[in-house]
Amino acid sequence: METKTLDRWGMNLQKPLIIAGPCSVETPEQLDRTVAGLVDQGVRIIRGGVWKPRTRPGNFEGVGAIALPWIKEVKEKYGVKFAIEVANPNHVEQALEAGIDLLWIGARTTVNPFAVQEIADSLKGVDIPIFVKNPVNPDLALWIGALERLDQAGLKRIGAIHRGFSNFNDTKYRNSPMWQLPIELKTKIPNLPLLNDPSHIGGKRDLLFDIAQMAYDLNFDGLIVESHIDPDKAWSDAAQQLTPDAFGAMLKSLKTRNSGLENPIFKHQLEQLREQIDEVDRELLEVLTRRMSLVEQVGEYKKSNNLTVFQIERWKKVFKTRADWAESMNVNPEFIKEVFKLIHTESINKQTEIMEGRKLEK
């Protein structure tokens, strides 16, 4: 898909692009005071939820279209641009009529191709920047699919927002970052502007800085952050919103990184290290190939002696010892466990092929 990098969006946008504002627009006063605070911190694009899709009914679901004139007012008063979430063509129509500058599609909408297509159709012929949040589930194809629907509708300024993924196992984050997914997205669509949403990943104020710094380290194009003039009294997402002052302080402490290799000395050192990594990776592959050849020999033995492919006692031992070895070598045992789970799955597949005398479908 074709999309323009941020510097070609024609709105004088620079990397890092910063969007901040309340989770929900609540009252004209709350909006005005929050925007005033954020403008003081140098923020030029404000976010604010008008329609809020919530997981369960009975929670505050946004004030709705009555917020649109309030938004118009702060836009004029402070000269800011405004971004809101749209979940259906009706929202799109009202947002465009109200002169909203940027749109985003939320995580609960991205999961539904029917809904995304309807939004894309309602935007045909309209030239407005639009961001797509990742779907709630870690499904890269669904995320890309939503971006492609907008691309096919003719939108040229499309971006993505990484807000983390639902994961019942994760106790630290509200939504697990699963950084490998935005990295894969960027690898597949390098031009795509990619923002990080530390508020929804963290769910708690004190986690935001580390998440945002990680995003900067990974060369994200910017941040979208929830900020409220009085976070503890916020009608939604109270625990994860920052005051404009706290947000300003966070922005100042974040370290931006260079993606290019301007310094020739550093470039040379990096190239040398990369050459060594190439070599080590080749060795790693050779070792894996050797291991797989042994596994295949075990497979032949199991076939002639009619033994099961999966040997639970041996597998438990392999799994435990490798994690212990990792610990003693100062390598993260959780990482090694994941590596060995993958290796074991491949062993099982290879031996099953040997047993059944046929290739398994990939």
Binding site for ligand PRE (CB under 6 A): 295, 298, 310-311, 314-315, 318, 344, 347-348, 351
Q: How far apart are CA 220 and CA 256, in angstroms?
A: 10
Q: Residue 204 or residue 314: which is nearer to ligand PRE going by CB?
A: 314
Residue 238 is encoded by which pair of tokens?
A: 């109270």
- Closest contact distance (angstroms) between CB of 312 and ligand PRE is 7
H-helix or E-strand spanning residue 340: helix 333-356
- Closest contact distance (angstroms) between CB of 293 and ligand PRE is 12
- Closest contact distance (angstroms) between CB of 319 and ligand PRE is 9
Q: Residue 204 or residue 317: which is nearer to ligand PRE going by CB?
A: 317
Q: How far apart are CA 61 and CA 55, in angstroms?
A: 10
Q: Residue 307 or residue 331: which is nearer to ligand PRE going by CB?
A: 307
Residues 6 or more apart whose CB falls under 8 angstroms from that of 120 comprise 149, 150, 152, 153, 155
Closest residue to ligand PRE in the complex (CB): 347
Residues 6 or more apart whose CB falls under 8 angstroms from that of 135 comprise 107, 110, 111, 142, 143, 146, 165
CB 173 within 8 A of CB 206: no
- Closest contact distance (angstroms) between CB of 320 and ligand PRE is 12
Which residue shows structure tokens 């710094």? 213
- Closest contact distance (angstroms) between CB of 335 and ligand PRE is 18
Q: Residue 94 or residue 311: which is nearer to ligand PRE going by CB?
A: 311
- Closest contact distance (angstroms) between CB of 22 and ligand PRE is 53
b/e string for 80-106 if b means 16 or more Cβ within 10 A? bbbbbbbbeeebbebbeebebbbbbbb
What pairing do the DSSP bridges indicate for beta strands 158-162 and 194-196?
parallel
Q: What distances in angstroms separate CA 310 from CA 252, 289, 299, one per listed residue? A: 54, 20, 10
Q: Residue 298 or residue 331: which is nearer to ligand PRE going by CB?
A: 298
Q: Residue 54 or residue 291: which is nearer to ligand PRE going by CB?
A: 291
Q: Residue 266 or residue 310: which is nearer to ligand PRE going by CB?
A: 310
- Closest contact distance (angstroms) between CB of 289 and ligand PRE is 14
Q: How far apart are CA 243 and CA 293, in angstroms?
A: 59
Which residue shows structure tokens 């997914």? 181
